[in-house]
Chain A
């Protein structure tokens, strides 16, 4: 779960990392009142949980109170990548001399935290990684040993950080690792860490993403509750019922068990048709869960439904009962193709057929997608070995 920039800044500040004076506004008048305090030129930053909000026009500068009023009004009326702007963080525009990058994430392959630093921070940081790898250095932390200032200094020296703010940057990096640990972060990042005209440092952006699986421990340290952060209504609903749901723009509803099988189903459907969503049930399939999954995917108009599930943890006929109950209670008439294999599969097929579902008993998903394509009179190039 990603935190808002202002939440991240509050946490940075509490851990002794220098951040700009700032406040969050929910109305145009509040924006003006804060800008009066923090000073002009003012920066207005939309607090929406999407990447690339700067390029999408979510970050604006205002030189005067009049301009500030117009800009704030415009921002509150804007959608940034489909998300309405409800909060704006206001601070004074800093006179930035130089921009660094500091970040800590998890290296999946080694299973260790990895620290990354660059003397060329800013929006083009990923490009820098490709074109000037000498300006970037990384270091894997031994989780039992921890992370000490001398290691931070060695890393920053390797990345070519100048002597002047070197010690201060190392200090920030060590504090960043404390945040990474305490908030059980997937990533914590300062981009850019600005060197200001007077030589001081300020984290002018804050990225902090917390491991969803650790929220039960971490949420007591958060000022906002985890609920209600996900922008999309359907994705939020998915979280409520305990499945992974990603909204897509096609018209074939998809229910699958397991992320890998879900992705493979999307890949195969995607050759001739378009999935409306990705829905992954997780391991514990029950009648109740699949009833709710049907309800979720049918919250938007569909042309057909494709169900691809395996029973592992639970016998799979329970899930089938939930699907059929939903169809009967709601009079669903859409074409539905299901492939369901695993424990109690024969029983499962009978139940599904009783709900008017086209059941495919072969293992290959391609065969089931072929059946779907035939029902919809759509050409499907897959499934012919």
Chain B
């Protein structure tokens, strides 16, 4: 098994008739994903890659038995489509688009939390289970089946880590992009808990970056709840400090958000902090990961 995406996952693609939606649907199918249909308002009755297209999410759920959805919907329309999708009973959603207004994301997060729906993104490459299936845009060639879980805030860095491991014949159980926006729809500890409980995952790589307090909260969770080895890389050590716009964030967070604050919290929680991505290989060798 894997986390989030498994043999029972029946996926619809929202925005399936767009240029990106079409290409990505083809690639997800080629990778073995169980895609059962798509939704584009006004394009109901058409087909894409032989799959039925619906106008409404509730119709798609009724006709196909879908229980998961991946979004290729234009940013300005995501909020409305998202609420519709939750109301239609879908309980796992991947939001690929970037540039969704953060005040929309606040509303999405609130509703998802209230309804107990699990959502990755926004601005995520999605989720991939090597050799089994994927929801989103991760390029299949970089991944190999195995027993290391990867969770990353940055999309392309999740590829980088999977790529380094795959070259050394160390495979991955599930690769998860949690999304790169200031507000994401699922925080790190929840995903770490899934990996801790997954019998097919032996160890976890957590790829973070400076800013926010996801990694600090993850460190708290790991120190109390995790037995599996965790390694972490934090990007942005030498990045220029983001332009400072005001004080409120700094006042609330204190030292949280800095490279030093994050790596200190992680080390104290027993996490192996990787100074550079390539060091992940030595870490994997140490724990004899495959």
Contact = CB atoms under 8 A, between A and B. Distances in A.
B252 interface: yes
A217 B76 CA distance: 9
A51 B243 contact: yes
Nearest to A215: B101
B42 interface: no
B282 A267 contact: no
Interface stretch (B50-58, B86-94, B136-144): B136-144
B155 A312 contact: yes
A312 B183 contact: no
A211 B101 contact: yes
A301 interface: no
B30 to A, nearest CB: 11
Given A103-B247, A103-B248, A260 B277 contact: no
Given A116-B252, A214-B101, A248-B240, A209 B235 contact: no
Interface residues of B, number: 75
A342 interface: yes
A309 B155 CA distance: 11
Contacts of B101: 184, 211, 213-214, 217
B254 A129 contact: yes
A282 interface: yes
B248 A363 contact: no
B248 A263 contact: no
Contact of B107 (A104, A143, A367, A385): A143
B156 A263 contact: no
Interface in B236-290: 236-240, 243-252, 254, 276-279, 281-282
Interface in A243-280: 246, 248, 256-261, 263-264, 266-268, 270, 278
Contacts of A114: 248, 252
A51 B125 contact: no
Interface stretch (B59-67, B163-171, B191-199): B163-171
Interface string B32-56: 0000000000000000000000000
A189 interface: yes
Contacts of A142: 110
Contacts of A257: 156
Interface stretch (A15-23, A26-34, A68-76, A105-113): A105-113
Given A246-B240, A260-B207, A261-B154, A109 B163 contact: no
A258 B139 CA distance: 14
A260 B250 contact: no
Given A105-B248, A111-B183, A343 B235 contact: no
Contacts of A82: none
B226 interface: no
B217 A109 contact: yes
A319 B68 CA distance: 32
B91 to A, nearest CB: 19
Interface string A99-129: 0010111111101111010100000011001
Contacts of B159: 310, 312, 341-342, 363
B212 A108 contact: yes
Contacts of B207: 260
A136 B254 CA distance: 12
Contacts of A129: 250-251, 254
B201 interface: no
B247 to A, nearest CB: 5
A54 interface: no
Nearest to B237: A267
A260 B153 contact: yes
Contacts of B244: 51-52
B98 to A, nearest CB: 6
Given A213-B99, A363-B166, A126 B137 contact: no
A261 to B, nearest CB: 4
Contacts of B157: 258, 260-261, 264
A366 interface: yes
Interface string B213-230: 110010000000000000
A366 B99 CA distance: 30
Interface in A330-364: 341-343, 345, 362-364
B210 interface: yes
Given A213-B101, A342-B142, A260 B245 contact: no
Given A211-B101, A385-B281, 14 more contacts: A103-B248, A109-B214, A111-B113, A112-B110, A187-B246, A209-B245, A211-B102, A217-B101, A258-B154, A342-B159, A363-B159, A364-B163, A366-B277, A385-B282
19 contacts: A101-B247, A106-B102, A116-B251, A129-B250, A143-B110, A209-B245, A209-B246, A260-B153, A266-B239, A267-B238, A283-B98, A283-B155, A310-B156, A312-B155, A341-B159, A341-B163, A363-B142, A364-B277, A385-B279
Interface of A: 2, 50-52, 101, 103-109, 111-114, 116, 118, 125-126, 129-130, 136, 138, 142-144, 181, 184, 186-187, 189, 191, 207, 209, 211-214, 216-217, 246, 248, 256-261, 263-264, 266-268, 270, 278, 282-284, 309-313, 341-343, 345, 362-367, 382-383, 385
Which 4 residue pairs of A and B lie closest in terms of their CB atoms, listed nearest first? A260-B154, A363-B163, A258-B156, A103-B248
